[in-house]
Chains A and B, each alone.
Chain A
Amino acid sequence: MNDLQYYTEYFWQLPTLVKVVWFISGVLFVVILALIGYLKFLRSHLRGNEKILMKYQKEYEENLINYLYAGDDENEISEVQRALINKMKICVTDKFKRNIIMAHAIQKFYFETGLVNHALYKLKARKWDVIASGIKELTQFEVKEAHNEIVKYVKHPNREVRNEAQLYLVSLFQFKGLSFLDKLETPLSEWAQIQLLEILQKFDNQEIPNITPWLQSKNNSVVQFSLKLAKIYNQFDVKNILFKLLSHENKEIRIDTIQVLNYFQDTESKHFLKPNFINSSLEEQIEFFKLLETIADKEDEAFILENVAHHNFEIKLSVLKILKAINVEKFNEVKLEATDVQVVEIVKFIETN
């Protein structure tokens, strides 16, 4: 007791700053003790959750397999299936168990157990991640009926929500689902474009709608996405629009367009590109020469020779490759006259490959 009194008196006679420091230290000490206790609880909880997760995953997998094999008609629910549905309905009320089932469910089962209502309810949430997870579920379980609700989210300010809504439309409505591009004002990221293209390529029906309006979109990312569609689905018909895009104000679009024309091996395109060559960016010039590698002929020789001394390595490489293809004698002349180290190296490389 005397000790306590001594320390109390000692504390109160300390300068204010030291008192504050001791007070904060005391608080930190209590915080550390609390955190240590909580850490122990948290780690046990996480380990426990993993065990439960494995147990329920196994159990639900078995139930689902039984469910799938118990049905004799696709449209009818058998007695055994009904019993399993009732069992699972009880589990659905538990959020943790619900999450486990979701990974394994099938559409009919999804509807019957009422899980679909949980997903639809999520669409009305205020938090973006809840909305996005709702859309994702509805996509996984192919709930086409939610179309009118989900289409509203295509222009959602949150990128993930937008992305999920777009994936829903394309996953369930295939090429028709791309109609959201007609009025899309927000940018379609490269990541989203890749995802959409991958989904589209999985369908048996590869009949692509008219991409002309999208190639003329004011949204640059929509134009870039349409260019990818044009290339993947060999849309030669849009060639004239591609020529127009060669003078688009956006450099990336101009470059992408040259790449598509290169893929089409379009001989006409050089007539559009040559006159503007000097004014175009270096990247465009490089792409143009890559295009010429596939389409150049004798009549391009003068233009090719003009660029033998181009400062860019890739253009030099293209120039010499083309020259060798269209006029070997001229190529040999350049080879003999070459003083530029890069040209010498490139010539050596071309000759040995």
Chain B
Amino acid sequence: MKKWLTSLGIAGYLALLGYGIVCHSLGFNTNAHPAMYFIIWDMYCGWGSYESRLHVLGEGASGQYYALTPAPWGDFHPFGSIGRQNYDPNAMHVGRMGVNALRYTDHEPIDRIVVIEETWPKKYNLPDHLWNRRYAEPKDKQSYYHLRAVFGADGTLVQRNPLWEQVLAQQVVLNNPRLMSDMSRGRPYFVLDPSLRNRSAVTPASYQVGEPE
């Protein structure tokens, strides 16, 4: 009996691992449940050519901005030299990190928490001596900034935007007049009428644009 139960356990465990491999191979149910994280082996599945940092700022009632990361009691660097907030690429939890900094510090009333993504091409991470061997051009790093998310002062999500690299990829695709025309054709839309300046500028009516019959 004990051996039968053991055999059942062995078969069940191997079936579970096999299910993970099949799901991962076929892209099936990979994000269906947190438990899938424990049977999908997708280490280093992604990559990006831009290095990014997340800056969590508090916007005060006076219009002043305050850095909420690193927190005044110090940053936690889990896997290297950069702070914990940078390992939240989906900006799911950075709002809570900002709220935590607000909760334990003195400050003016804060209206909202703003998350700014700073990015630069990873080639600029090369140390100077290797840069000089690899490139003829001078090293002229420039950061680009992108509004990643906005949270209320209590951490409620107000707005979340895609990653900077995703925005670039979208721009690449959408910079196509034919595609934009296709996208707008046949879709209802709202009209913004400047003549209605003193009233609501949004006219609650929709229009269909289609090919003439």
Chains A and B bind each other: no
Residues of chain B whose beta carbon lies under 8 Å from any beta carbon of chain A: none
